[in-house]
Structure 1
Amino acid sequence: MRGSPVLLSQFKSSGIARVSGHKPFLRRSFPSCPACRHISASARRSRSAPQPADDPNFMSIVDNPATLVRTGRKHGPGLIILALIPITAFALGTWQVQRLDWKSKLMAKFEDRLVRDPLPLPPHVDPAAIKDFDYRRIYATGHFRHDQEMLIGPRMHEDTNGYLVVTPLEREGEGTTVLVNRGWIPKKLKLQKDRPDGLPQGEVTVEGLLREPWKKNRFTPDNKPETKEFFFPDVNQMASLTGSQAVWIEETMEPDLLKSWDREARGIPIGRPAEVNLRNNHTQYIFTWYALAAATSVMLWMVVKKPPADLTRRVRQNKDWS
């Protein structure tokens, strides 16, 4: 049945037509927009232009993929320093073990000398032989030369400032004088006129320890013998100043609190006890160094075994793509 003119016109306007009894079809129409026509023309030209994949030597990202790496090094110089700390601490701890053994043997040797009976001091003493008699108990008889007295200070005794009194002991015979460290006096009794009881006259017998010359601390100022200011016992300097032998004797006394108070009040020097007073802190040094070595070893293990953080992982671009 033929369609009416109105329907036919609608079919034509919508792009649907009948062709010799076939079913209607949709006619393809090109866009009327200028921009769309330009894009279609560009697409047709790009299909006709040569593509990189047409080159047989072309290499794509599939053929040469990127590499998953960590940006920066996993461990830097800090790890080397951290590894050196436990090694150094362990070596120092081992060295302190050796020092403890040496110090213990030295103190045992000195204590063995202390328990022996005192020896009379020879008229002339070889300074080179004093090392073999260090801490040996001796006694010597003579007269104190108070006019050549020297004060070493400041020196503390039970939180009180004062001085060490060093007086030459003149014995019979020429060149037999020796230096005697008589002990400590308070600062307020520095002048001899204020302590007459501390200036014995006549012949006296001194019992004490034969000691090696002291070694100066690098923080101690130099002595000023011209003004009689002495900050440390320089035995050779004091010996040349007084014309005595370079022999240092430390006078000893029995520890007695009441006797010490009486001496301090009267200005009589307080002598040292007959005991070894060497410092021996090597045990605590050993504990300190070995504890530091153990702690830093644990820290090193934790740093090495720590898994890398995901935020530090990056994709490195491959620069060899063609």
Structure 2
Amino acid sequence: MASEKTTCASLYTIKTQFFSVILIKDLKFQDDEGHFIFETLEEQADLLNMTVSSILCQQFPPSLSYQQCFVKAILKKCEENNFEICDELYESYTMLIGRSNEVSEVCYKTYFISPDECITLQESTQMISHGTTGLCTWQAAKYLTEWAIENKQILKDKHVLELGSGLGLTGLVISKFCCPSTYTFTDCHENVLRTLRKNVTLNTVQESSSENDYCNKQKCGKTENDDNSYCEFSDTDGSITRIKHLDWEEFTEQEVKDLGSDVILASDVVYDDRLLEPLVKVLSSLLSSSSSVAYVSSTIRNDTTFSKFLDVLDTKSICWQEVKNVPTPVFYYNKDVAIKLLKLSSQ
């Protein structure tokens, strides 16, 4: 049997994996010594209380199908290893299966940066939803976020702009931990912007301790049906978070100039040959100031597409260099997939 300290650490690992909805096959049900973390009735109850039975799961639940698979996997492991199974585990599984007719297009994923700090995102249950891939969080965004956590000095007191922000993981973590002066999320898809606004509100307003705090933090004031082209949140520390519609194919130079960014960030934006020219065009405009710099994180799914991106950067006279220092892992994702981080600047 594992020590109490080891069991607590392993339970925390499973908690973070469960709420970030990693593949069931990748869940770490055993500690470093090979002991299962739910060998006793008490451990099983603790595991349930930290996951499917927790307040966090009630407020911001992972998809129902994921919860069902999670509890089913625990039951299967218990049966295979002849562990006595607590009543709460059976009851939890029965309750979840009883809800199988419930249908939802959205779920929540909660990403823990530390035991006391996390970011919760509303995401789509489908990889492609409403004609966009922007309603899910991808590997390169997690990689860029890990890099940002280790390089806070690059972002501190800076005007930061993100291209193709998606659901907002990178920007929310940077806003919370890296102290930028302003952070501007941008995207062009209406449904992405709507969900992004929900996620920014969820992770900022939620922390307010009084009605006055709420008024200071939430300056957007938009309703579900309002235009999503611009939204601004101001915090009590003076920092400002903005959400803005930006179409790479239809932007104006004045629009980009008004953004006034020191650091430009982007992740998983190099995937479609048709968008490479517009992407580099907007990057070129944003980098027109000699002091501006960009960091682009890319999952290398297609070597040809990535090579074309580099060629287009060269034609626009944008300097690029690969940032090879691999950041300390914080999130769970496939580390075997090639991810490259480029630093861009004007010549």
Greater relative contact order (Cα < 8 A, sep 6+) = 1
Larger Rg: 1
Same fold, TM-score > 0.5, yes or no = no
Normalising TM by the smaller chain, what interval? under 0.3
Query: Normalising by the residue count of structure 2, what TM-score does the alignment of the two structures yield?
Result: 0.18
Q: Give the TM-score of the pair, scaled to structure 1.
A: 0.19
